[in-house]
Amino acid sequence: MAKAQPASCMDDYDPASLPVAEALRRIELVVTPLHHAERIALRSALGRVLAEDVRSPVDVPAHTNSAMDGYAVNAEDLCDTGNVSLRVVGTSWAGRAFEGTLGRGECVRIMTGGVMPRGTDSVVMQEDCEREADAIRLLGAGHRRGQHVRRAGEDLARGDVAVPAGKRLTPAELGLLASLGVGEVSAVRAPRVAFFSTGDELRSIGEPLLPGEVYDSNRYTLYGMLKRLGADVIDLGVVRDDLDAIKSMLRDAATMADVVITSAGASVGDADYIKTALDDIGEVDFWKIAMKPGRPLSFGSISNALFFGLPGNPVSVMVTFYQFVTPALRRLMGETHAPTPRISVRSATALKKRPGRLEFQRGILERDREGQLTVRSTGEQGSGILSSMSRANCFIVLASERGDIDAGDFVDVELFEGIV
Ligand code: AMP
Ligand code: MG
């Protein structure tokens, strides 16, 4: 958080810039979750957010069954002194139960997942006994009643919440829901997000580049980041640096989307029209944030649509998207989630940093020769160097008030990828 202290040429404090945490709080205040839900097939629900709790229609497991390959026995027959011998009277396979009822001194060969026969309550692993024709002799002692048995309902009882509303479905939930026989779920509808780039210098792939022109890469990173979040994307192309053209496209975008995103023109240069356009046709909540990269960032609304005016530099677009647009979209989708965890590790390299802004440098988290987790910089940190995002596997998050970091100092990192 920015400290009240006099500005100097050695720092980056700007009293007009909003601290990142405050910007996030304001976004959270404004964003209300979408209410509309739709029933969709289980496979299509991957990455979608559950609109209502899914309760288990069954006990899981449905029947008490064996957790091991071995023999189903009655614990009364397990004797601590060893030398127990039991008669094998049948087999219980996974999917083919043994129908009889066991008496004392009897056992049933059982496979993992096999239903426990009537009269048994424990399983002896096959490694813990010796088979002799139609009998087994138990080896060792210390058997317990109920050992190696999975009880009906021990994972979930019928009526328990199996997956709560607000959960984004991962492969684990697809499997869990399938195990309950649930083939359809109610998912929050995908938010519609319209976006366009601004800038007279932007060209599309396939066009030749004249001096000073660049290919429009922001529409591709935005497309990727939005798709990953499960948004319905509406790509509106490129709009030139012209106030009326931008206003007109913003109005159109707001009629077709829940969220409108632009890139570039967000600052106060002579060709930067986003903030003026938003002032004219919508509401500006804030437009300057104490972070690096990404200081110019407009947030507000146009009619019923939320608006994010992201910076133009390709790295700034990604950093501001992950820090602000992602939490906003997740909230819009009704997702209940914890903020991205930050891990404290040693920096293997010295890092340049001026106090005054929260910084997101690009880092590579790895183990050093001693096996300790350390992070090193990807190198040049210019906000136009998109290859730094591709080579990095984490952000190095440096608090606003920090100055230069020495090699060996602790820093926070946010990992790019989860596993599941
Ligand atoms: P601006 O915020 O409009 O001053 O843009 C800042 C920098 O980002 C300039 O160097 C632009 O050329 C660059 N830039 C803006 N939009 C894009 C885009 N869509 N793709 C790639 N670079 C961009
Ligand atoms: Mg521009």
**Which is the closest atom of ligand 1 to the Cα of 271?**
3
What is the mean predicted confidence (pLDDT) over 90-111? 97
Sign of CA dihedral 248, 252, 232, 235: negative
Q: Does residue 262 line the site of ligand 1, with CB under 6 A?
A: no
Sheet holding 232-239: strands in order across? Answer: 232-239, 192-198, 259-263, 305-310, 296-302, 283-288
> One-letter amino acid identity for 74?
N
- Three-class SS of the chain: CCCCCCCCCCCCCCCCCECHHHHHHHHHHHCCCCCCEEEEECHHHCCCEECCCEECCCCECCCCEECCCEEEECHHHCCCCCCCEEEEEEEEECCECCCCECCCCEEEEECCCCECCECCCEEEEHHHEEEECCEEEECCCCCCCCCCEECCCCCECCCCEEECCCCECCHHHHHHHHHCCCCEEEEECCCEEEEEEECCCEECCCCCCCCCCEECCHHHHHHHHHHHCCCEEEEEEEECCCHHHHHHHHHHHHHHCCEEEEECCCCCCCCCCHHHHHHHHCEEEEEEECEECCCEEEEEEECCEEEEEECCCHHHHHHHHHHHHHHHHHHHCCCCCCCCCCEEEEECCCECCCCCCEEEEEEEEEECCCCCEEEEECCCCCCCCCHHHHHCCEEEEECCCCCCECCCCEEEEEECCCCC
Least confident of 73-87, 258-272, 322-336: 73-87
The pLDDT assigned to 1 comes to 42
What is the mean predicted confidence (pLDDT) over 137-164? 94
- Centre of ligand 1 from the C-alpha of residue 200, in Å: 10
**Of 146, 156, 142, the residue nearest 68 (C-alpha):** 146
Nearest CA to ligand 1 atom 5: 312
Residues with C-beta atoms within 5 A of ion ligand 2: 199, 264-265
Nearest CA to ligand 1 atom 16: 312
- Centre of ligand 1 from the C-alpha of residue 309, in Å: 12
The pLDDT assigned to 10 comes to 75
**Residue 134 clears pLDDT 80, i.e. is over it:** yes
- Centre of ligand 2 from the C-alpha of residue 240, in Å: 9
What is the mean predicted confidence (pLDDT) over 390-413? 98
Q: What is the pLDDT of residues 176-227, one digit of tens each?
A: 999 999 999 999 999 999 999 999 999 999 999 999 999 999 999 999 999 9
Stated pTM of the model: 0.90
How would residue 3 be classed by pLDDT, with cut points 50, 70 and 90?
very low
**Residue 321 clears pLDDT 70, i.e. is over it:** yes
Best of 263, 267, 385, 387 for a ligand 1 pocket test (most atoms within 8 Å of beta carbon): 263
- Centre of ligand 1 from the C-alpha of residue 217, in Å: 9
- Centre of ligand 2 from the C-alpha of residue 159, in Å: 56
What is the mean predicted confidence (pLDDT) over 317-334? 97
The pLDDT assigned to 151 comes to 96
The number of the ligand nearest the C-alpha atom of 216 reads 1
How would residue 337 be classed by pLDDT, with cut points 50, 70 and 90?
confident
Q: Does residue 293 line the site of ligand 1, with CB under 6 A?
A: no
What residues pair up with 263 in beta bridges, in sequence order?
A: 197, 310
The number of the ligand nearest the C-alpha atom of 202 reads 1
Q: Does residue 312 line the site of ligand 1, with CB under 6 A?
A: yes
- How many Å apart are CA 361 and CA 411, to the nearest integer? 11
* Helices 274-281 and 243-256, axial angle in degrees (round to 10): 60
Average pLDDT over the chain reads: 95
Angle value at C-alpha 167, between 394 and 150, nearest 5 degrees: 105
How would residue 82 be classed by pLDDT, with cut points 50, 70 and 90?
low
Q: Does residue 265 line the site of ligand 1, with CB under 6 A?
A: yes
What is the mean predicted confidence (pLDDT) over 91-101? 96
How would residue 2 be classed by pLDDT, with cut points 50, 70 and 90?
very low
**Residue 18 clears pLDDT 80, i.e. is over it:** yes
